[in-house]
Structure 1
Amino acid sequence: MALALVVCGVALASLPASADPAPGDDALFAEQLASGEFAPALSRAEQAPPAQRDARLGAIARAQAAAGEPRAALATAGSMRDDVLRSQTLSESSSPPPAARGGAAGADFSSLIELITSTVAPTTWDEVGGPGAIKEYRNGVYVDALGVVHPVVDQDGGNRLNQLRQSVAHAAADGRVRRSSPLRKISLPRLEREIQLRLAAGQPLDEEMQVLAGLQRIRYVLVYPDTGDLVLAGPAGDWTLDRENRLVGSDSGRPVVQLDDLIVILRHVLNSRDGEFGCSITPTAEETVALVRGLSVCDGGFTVEMELQESPAEPVRSLKDQMN
């Protein structure tokens, strides 16, 4: 049976009996991080107040990455609700120190040591003249005072990412995401979280994400202030490439809403002064000259309106020919 090894790099020298342990939940949480007890630390983080929950999950994810457990760190970061803090945590956890020779994680525990010495009986450490000491050491398996081996948090090999993808697409693995729906809902925060996790794991975005699960038109924008959710809703269905190599609905022929286009529009609206955008159809110089020549045939352009009213087909056809 394969055992998951937790690389622990911090050892606490026993403090004298006269040293009073620092009360409070933060001290215990710091000890759990330092000793690599990520499972109880996760449980404690989930029970923390909302204002502290994501901060603790971020600390756990960084500690897991430093201990050489990138998948566990990715799963922990994925459970964070604050998208900004999640992005910061993934960025800090994506480039852990390189592993040392011999299979050791080579992690830097200076931040954990600083956290411990500042929260656990801060006046008793040797740096301030106390008898307590803390140092790094290399090991393979952590066993606590009761002789209990603490395994690393279960690594599901990508199942969590698959669950997130399914929740974004609002469909199971039976292909329902390609079925026609009069009102398909796409959660932007969930989509953003999935993108962050996939990029952090070095995985590409799947086709369902790139076409927003076949969304053909944004009919509603649903805002949920209590949960912070922002949902796009509209008709959707299966998609295919048309003759001009454009992604369109298989049944309707309408262009599908693509993720990169949505990002460009959102960035423009957020960063521009008025939020307006558009495109110009500018003819070439040759086409402009041809248009002027075509208008000059109609008495200098003064009789074009009358001719269009009497027989619109021929003048319009002539101008189209001039403009190609």
Structure 2
Amino acid sequence: MCDASTSRHLEVLLLQPLSLHFESTLSKKYNLLKPWLSPLPLNAFLSTHAQSIKAIVSSGPNCRAIENSLLQLVPNLGIVATATAGVDHVELEACRKKGVAVTNAGEVYSADAADFGVGLLIDLLRGISIRQRLKGDNHNHNHNHNLLGSQVSGKRVGIVGLGSIGSHVAKRLTAFGCPISYFSRAPKPNFPSYKYFSSVLDLARENDILVLSCALTDETRNIVNRDVMEALGKDGIIINVGRGALIDEPELVRCLKEGVIGGAGLDVFVNEPDVPKELFQMENVVLSDHRAVTTPESFKAVLELVIANLDAFFSGKPLLSPVLCS
């Protein structure tokens, strides 16, 4: 583990502002470089500090892309430590070629994301926030059958990505008596009671609800397209606590308008913070602004994990949550 006197001389690059507490805690151990405070353009700033930058810390729902062009400006970089679960903003192949390690938030956010996903589902099926919104708009919906709601218990749930978040979702919804099935790259032997599907299309045909909790990759981008939504059916529900681009967003809007599916609970979007304006007018949609994992508990845990990964890297010890090892 790095001691304070040694680590304080190590320069860590931040590509965007972090929370005040996050920055304050990191600055007690490391010399933080903040290019947004410099009058220099980013490239010139990086060139000035090129030899001393050994680590980058990345965080936030709209992380700056860490691409090969940026990596070329910091030749001594050894680690990209992200405070996010997903690393789709990091060009992993470029990091691999340069021998740069990458870490993420590991399983820190899994319980919070699962809680939130189940919360979106309950909210949507029971019409909790929709009723409040309509009440505020003075709408008379006493005889609107669509607002009577539907029970969660017993609904067939298909999970796209039975990783850490997905398995937490499954555990919670099993308590509601929901039969669970899933899609992933391969069957999960640790979950023999859940039915495996090798196709998202087949998963949609056999379920009432799709919960999206997988990572965003080239293979999973737009994994839920119109064909999948048509297979899910007019009463089907989509919950997304993964990444916005897992869904073909324009087709989602069209399918919701046309009644191809029954509704959606969405915490993530393709072009955050922008949200398709049509979604705000729909009574069969519950929206959140990428808040699934924003709890004090998760913030504390991810800060500790980022620091532990940095300490391990600078001490030559194994990383705690490696996505890519150097």
Structure-2-length-normalised TM-score = 0.25
Structure showing the higher helix proportion among its residues: 1
Structure-1-length-normalised TM-score = 0.25
Structure showing the higher strand proportion among its residues: 2
